[in-house]
Structure 1
């Protein structure tokens, strides 16, 4: 079931990935910078019947691609509140992955009465802004993902073949969760330029990435916030390299408050942390103890 929620600049598509019993707690799942709501398909299955899981396609992505700004993480945070208002929910647990974790932490910082708890997966931790040009820093972090947004593919099969070459994603297509992973990847595609291309709006990705790297409010949101949080981090990185985006040392150096509980998610990478069964069970546990 997909809901349309009026937000600044257009209509936000919100997928109801799971329904619990009457009065079940509400969890809102917030995806990464070039991802979409179906990134949480495996988590939704693990939480089936326990919570009402709402997962928006964030502005500028997938079914929310028609929104044409404003961009930036503050706009996403305002969208979260708009979804809660539309669903008549006073407060909810926010589950965020990657950039979505920063959106969740920022929402809790700006609107603490609307967020009961945070579950952050491989993101949300602010570090000092990089010196020099932000565009160059952004290229180093998500350059390959941004280049994908400019590519055209003849059909869905070609797009999945492209992902099969990705060291962190491709092997997962041949696992027990391969169908869920493929559904998430296909949800990104739209028709255009004589073929199929990513739905992501490049300007939105650039603006959001710059906020994650350098916006001072975003960077301090988790450190200075008061909402209890659980932070799960993957051991491996964006390209399945052995160094993940986060590790125990970097997290310790971030000076997070005792309200943030840190849990290693094991030997998964930045993408498979949302699909690999053991990691999904850990996320579901974190959500279950937070509602």
Structure 2
């Protein structure tokens, strides 16, 4: 498989690094998770028909967009997606998807400017997350993100040591493949002997707080989406075991009813392998079919 082209496309206040997979005329736009990058869509993009091009931006504070100035926040990312969709679509609606936090960003973008999009695929994200009243949001983020947050403050002697850190992750190590390794290696930067993640912790914490405090916005977006919408969800969570990121009760609450997105579980997957494993073929298939 050819590696993606790396583009720097203008947005308000700077530019975003955007990975382009494929050379076809059909345009897809994909938003990644809270500590991820556009490289998380490598496996899915390979499964798309030849007539597709998938554009996966590194959101502000991540990947090649790590130095793109803030402010951060889900609405800012949604604004960036709308800008890219308008430019890439050249007058035609584009297909939209997002994984994890990116699903929430994609949902907000579709609400903001529905005419720019012809479908919305949510991958293990996009549903309002229940937060106990008075909860310490920073503590809740630390509990939820766990190893993903821990790596942001660490340095590593070599790229191989960084890869080994991910190989030890219970949701990734048992399912290791070339797409996961490409995703990990794309994320590493810094001088020899002090290699680190490209992700900025301040961006993660700001966006994480938005995830936990914007339930009303997400709920409104899920009530009668303006474009065909589908949620694909994993039965296992961020550590490769139960509970899932989106519990069954939450999925049933927000999907499947009149005016709500449909939902489909993707068996045998966790929060990461739903996109970075063999299930990427299912994600691509549902994405293409959604606009039929």
Q: TM-score, normalised by structure 1?
A: 0.91
Instruction: Describe the shift of the 1:134–1:16 C-alpha distance in structure 2 as closer, same or farther (beyond 3 A).
Output: same
Q: TM-score, normalised by structure 2?
A: 0.91
- Distance in structure 2 (CA, Å) of the matches to 1:14 and 1:163: 24
Structure 1 segments, 4+ long, off by >6 Å, are: none
Q: How far is the alpha carbon of 1:259 from its aligned partner?
A: 4.1
Structure 1 residue corresponding to 2:20, chosen from 16, 29, 40: 16
Contact 1:19 1:49 in 2 (8 A): yes
Q: How far is the alpha carbon of 1:216 from its aligned partner?
A: 4.4
Q: How far is the alpha carbon of 1:281 from its aligned partner?
A: 1.9
Number of residue equivalences: 283
Contact 1:17 1:53 in 2 (8 A): yes
| Unaligned runs of at least 5 residues, structure 1 | none
- 1:133-180: CA deviation from partner (whole Å, max 9, x where unpaired): 22122122114311210100111100111111110011222xxxx112
What secondary structure sits across from 2:271 in the alignment? coil
Is 105-114 or 193-202 further displaced after alignment? 193-202
Q: How does 1:1-291 map to 2 (within 5 A)?
A: 1-20=5-24, 24-87=25-88, 88-132=90-134, 133-173=136-176, 178-192=177-191, 194-224=193-223, 225-254=225-254, 257-277=258-278, 279-291=279-291
Instruction: Describe the shift of the 1:108–1:150 C-alpha distance in structure 2 as closer, same or farther (beyond 3 A).
Output: same
Contact 1:127 1:254 in 2 (8 A): no
- Distance in structure 1 (CA, Å) of the matches to 2:19 and 2:220: 26
- Distance in structure 1 (CA, Å) of the matches to 2:109 and 2:180: 27
Contact 1:164 1:170 in 2 (8 A): yes
- Distance in structure 1 (CA, Å) of the matches to 2:129 and 2:14: 32
- Distance in structure 2 (CA, Å) of the matches to 1:64 and 1:197: 15
Cα RMSD after superposing both structures? 1.8
